[in-house]
């Protein structure tokens, strides 16, 4: 019997008054409910309405996400719970992804490694087999986090990657010079994807993967990378600040530009914002922790 995936069909205005697409609004709203993929469904005849299908790792997460979307968006956005048979759509949806460059870092799926032969002596190649929802480097939030890693000196330092997903940031940190990286994720499927990434890149001796969340109080590190959501970064600011050592850096991504001011207010008491970059409606920031 074919397996099925719990999913949520979402339809609504393609753009909101603030200029955000429906896909970006929904991605931010469902992030806390372990989504595994968001698929945009093309339908002819409707130019101002977007249709999405969001896949989840469990039915309770799907149902909770539906409540969150309905509460935040109101009747203008329609939702419908469904289950989708696994007929190989997951593999097909990733087949067209190609290598991308972010500064010195080239992130490439195994089938597009040929492009990395042009990498320069200072470039870093990270091989990632895309897994739905776990970070292939193609989303602006991942690219901003990768760019942020290149703004600080990593050589010989420890890196903590919160919500590691595919492990792309932890792998990149080690290849950029970090002594060791620890990737943490509460999703066991994500950790399986990350384990494959470590093997593909030959860094298993330098990256440790752990299941859990901020509530489990991971060890502190010189560099803390958190590609989460703006809402999560604000709500968990004290816990995240406590994980970074004095004089270290917090690299934050997953922030909508409408959330950037609130995120800055939550983290500046621990040290100044020393870097900020934006891509589309997403923002990445680096905060330097005050030395004792």
Rounded mean pLDDT, 106-112: 82
Give pLDDT, residue 169: 96
Q: Residue 107 pairs with which residues in a beta bridge?
A: 100, 126
Residue whose entry in the numeric block shows the structure tokens 């032969």: 117
Minimum mean pLDDT range among 21-25, 32-36, 116-120: 116-120
Helix axes 22-30, 59-73, angle to 10 degrees: 130
CA distances from 41 to 11, 81, 86, 204, 285 (A): 10, 15, 17, 38, 32
Cα gap 71→67, rounded to integer Å: 6
Please state, in angstroms and rounded to a whole number, the distance separating the CA atoms of residues 66 and 167. Answer: 28
The lowest-confidence range among 48-52, 55-59, 168-172, 223-227 is 55-59
Q: What pLDDT is attached to residue 272?
A: 97
Average pLDDT in the chain = 85
Residues of the chain with CATH 3.40.50.150: 137-288
Specify whether the CB–CB gap between 115 and 132 falls below 8 A: no
Of 225, 129, 150, 144, nearest to 182 (Cα)?
225
Task: Encode 226-256: b = buried (16+ Cβ within 10 Å), e = exposed.
Answer: bbbbbbbbbebbeebbebbbeebbbbbbbbb
Over residues 248-270, the mean pLDDT reads 95
Mean pLDDT of all residues in 107-123: 73
| 172 alpha carbon, distance to own chain's centre | 14
Nearest to 35 by CA among 66, 11, 13: 66
Which tops the pLDDT comparison, 66 or 193?
66
pLDDT value, residue 94: 58
What's domain 137-288's superfamily in CATH?
A: Vaccinia Virus protein VP39 (3.40.50.150)
Domain over 4-87 is classified CATH 3.30.70.330: yes
Tell me the per-residue pLDDT of 220-257, one tens digit each, with 9 for 90 and over: 999 999 998 888 899 999 999 999 999 999 999 989 88
- 164: helix, strand or coil: coil
CATH 3.30.70.330-classified regions of the chain = 4-87
Q: What would the DSSP string read from start to end of 96-124? A: T---EEETTEEEE-GGGGGGGGG--TT-E
Instruction: Tell me how far apart the terminal alpha carbons of the chain are, to the nearest angstrom.
Output: 60
Q: State the pLDDT confidence band at 53, using cuts at 50, 70 and 90.
A: confident
Closest by Cα among 40, 41, 37, 8 to 23 = 40
SS3 content of the chain, % helix, strand, coil (to 5): 35, 35, 30
- pTM, two decimal places: 0.76
Residue 113 has pLDDT above 90, yes or no: no
């Amino acid at each position: 019997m074919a397996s099925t995936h719990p999913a949520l069909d979402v339809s609504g205005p393609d753009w909101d008054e603030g200029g955000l697409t429906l896909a970006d609004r929904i991605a931010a709203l469902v992030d806390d409910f372990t989504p595994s993929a968001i698929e945009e469904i093309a339908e002819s005849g409707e130019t101002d309405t977007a249709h999405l299908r969001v896949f989840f790792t469990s039915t309770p997460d799907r149902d909770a996400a539906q409540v969150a979307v309905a509460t935040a968006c109101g009747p203008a956005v329609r939702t419908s719970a469904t289950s989708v048979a696994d007929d190989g759509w997951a593999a097909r949806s990733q087949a067209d992804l190609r290598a991308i460059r972010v500064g010195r870092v080239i992130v490439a799926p195994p089938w597009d490694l040929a492009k990395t032969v042009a990498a320069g002596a200072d470039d870093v190649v990270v091989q990632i087999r895309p897994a739905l929802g776990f970070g292939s480097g193609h989303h602006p939030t991942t690219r901003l986090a990768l760019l942020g890693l290149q703004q600080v000196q990593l050589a010989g330092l420890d890196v903590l990657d919160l919500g590691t997903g595919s492990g792309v940031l932890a792998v990149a940190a080690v290849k950029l010079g970090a002594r060791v990286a620890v990737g943490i994720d509460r999703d066991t499927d994500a950790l399986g994807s990350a384990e494959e990434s470590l093997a593909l890149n030959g860094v298993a001796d330098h990256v440790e993967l752990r299941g859990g969340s901020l509530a489990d109080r991971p060890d502190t590190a010189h560099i803390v990378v958190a590609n989460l959501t703006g809402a999560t970064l604000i709500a968990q600011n004290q816990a995240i600040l406590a994980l970074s050592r004095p004089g270290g850096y917090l690299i934050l991504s997953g922030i909508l530009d409408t959330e950037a001011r609130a995120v800055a207010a939550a983290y500046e008491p621990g040290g100044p914002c020393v870097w900020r970059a934006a891509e589309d409606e997403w923002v990445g920031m680096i905060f330097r922790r005050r030395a004792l």
